[in-house]
Structure 1
Amino acid sequence: MTTDPGSPSGPDDEGFPAALSDADDGRTALRMERRLAHPPQRVWDAITRPAQLARWFPSEVSVELRPGGEIGFHFPGDPGPGPAMTGRVTDADEPRLFAFTWGEDHLRWEIAPDGANGSVLTLVHTFGDRFGAASFASGWQVCVTALAQVLAGGPVDAARDTSGALHEAYLARFGELTRGGVEETAEGGTRLRLERQLVRPAGAVWDRLTGGAEPSAGGPVPPGFTVGTVPAGPVTEVRTSELLAYAWCAGGEVRWELGAGTGHGPRLVLTQTGPRDGFDAAEALAAWRARVAELAAELAGAP
Structure 2
Amino acid sequence: MNESLDTAHGRQVLRIERRLVHPPEKVWPAVTEPEQLREWFPAEIRLDPRPGGRITFSFGSGPDASAESVGRVDAYEPPRLFAFTWEDELFRIELHPDGPGCLLVFSHVFDDRAGAASFASGWQICLDALELVLDGRPVDQSARPSGRLHESYVERFGLAEGVADTTGDGWRVRFERQLTRPAEAVWAALTRSAPDRPATLGAPPPPGFTTDEFPAGPVTALQPPTLLEYAWEAAGAPAGRIRWELAQGTGHGARLVLEQTGPADAPGGHATALAAWRSRIEPLARQLAEEADRLAG
TM over 0.5: yes
Gaps of 5+ in 2: 292-297
Q: Is the contact made by 1:78 and 1:84 (CA closer than 8 Å) also made in structure 2?
A: no
CA separation in 2, counterparts of 1:97 and 1:163? 30
CA separation in 1, counterparts of 2:290 and 2:219? 29
Secondary structure in 2 matching 1:205: helix
CA separation in 2, counterparts of 1:77 and 1:217? 44
Equivalent position of 2:118 in the other structure: 135
Provide Cα deviations, 1:155-207, integer angstroms capped at 9, x if missing partner: 113763454111100111001x2111111113x21111111000001100011
Residue 6 of structure 2, aligned match among 21, 24, 30:
21
Secondary structure in 2 matching 1:165: helix
Which is strand-richer, 1 or 2? 2
- Kindly provide the amino acid, as one letter, of the partner of residue 56 in structure 1: W
Bigger CA drift: 150-159 or 237-246?
A: 150-159
Residue 275 of structure 1, aligned match among 250, 254, 263:
263
CA separation in 2, counterparts of 1:65 and 1:147? 20
Deviation at 1:210, TM superposition (A): 1.5
CA separation in 2, counterparts of 1:171 and 1:132? 9
**Is residue 2:25 matched to residue 1:44?**
no
Equivalent position of 1:252 in the other structure: 240
The 1:78/1:272 distance shift into structure 2, 3 A limit, reads farther
Secondary structure in 2 matching 1:19: strand
The 1:81/1:143 distance shift into structure 2, 3 A limit, reads closer
Q: Is the contact made by 2:121 and 2:145 (CA closer than 8 Å) also made in structure 1?
A: no
Equivalent position of 2:68 in the other structure: 84
Q: Is the contact made by 2:125 and 2:145 (CA closer than 8 Å) also made in structure 1?
A: no
Q: Is the contact made by 1:72 and 1:83 (CA closer than 8 Å) also made in structure 2?
A: no
CA separation in 2, counterparts of 1:233 and 1:22? 39
CA separation in 2, counterparts of 1:80 and 1:220? 43
Gaps of 5+ in 1: 1-14
CA separation in 2, counterparts of 1:83 and 1:245? 36
Provide Cα deviations, 1:2-57, integer angstroms capped at 9, x if missing partner: xxxxxxxxxxxxx2x11111123x21111111111100011111000100000000
Q: TM-score, normalised by structure 1?
A: 0.89
Secondary structure in 2 matching 1:155: coil
Equivalent position of 1:3 in the other structure: none
**Is residue 2:216 matched to residue 1:235?**
no
Equivalent position of 2:79 in the other structure: 95
**Is residue 2:163 matched to residue 1:181?**
yes
Equivalent position of 2:19 in the other structure: 35
CA separation in 1, counterparts of 2:190 and 2:66? 42
The 1:28/1:78 distance shift into structure 2, 3 A limit, reads farther
The 1:100/1:83 distance shift into structure 2, 3 A limit, reads farther
Q: Is the contact made by 1:111 and 1:119 (CA closer than 8 Å) also made in structure 2?
A: yes
**Is residue 2:114 matched to residue 1:125?**
no
Q: Is the contact made by 1:161 and 1:167 (CA closer than 8 Å) also made in structure 2?
A: no
Equivalent position of 2:155 in the other structure: 172
- Kindly provide the amino acid, as one letter, of the partner of residue 244 in structure 1: L
**Is residue 2:130 matched to residue 1:144?**
no
Bigger CA drift: 133-142 or 247-256?
A: 247-256
Equivalent pairs, count:
284
Q: Is the contact made by 2:55 and 2:71 (CA closer than 8 Å) also made in structure 1?
A: yes
Deviation at 1:83, TM superposition (A): 6.2
Equivalent position of 2:186 in the other structure: 205
- Kindly provide the amino acid, as one letter, of the partner of residue 63 in structure 1: L
The 1:158/1:54 distance shift into structure 2, 3 A limit, reads closer
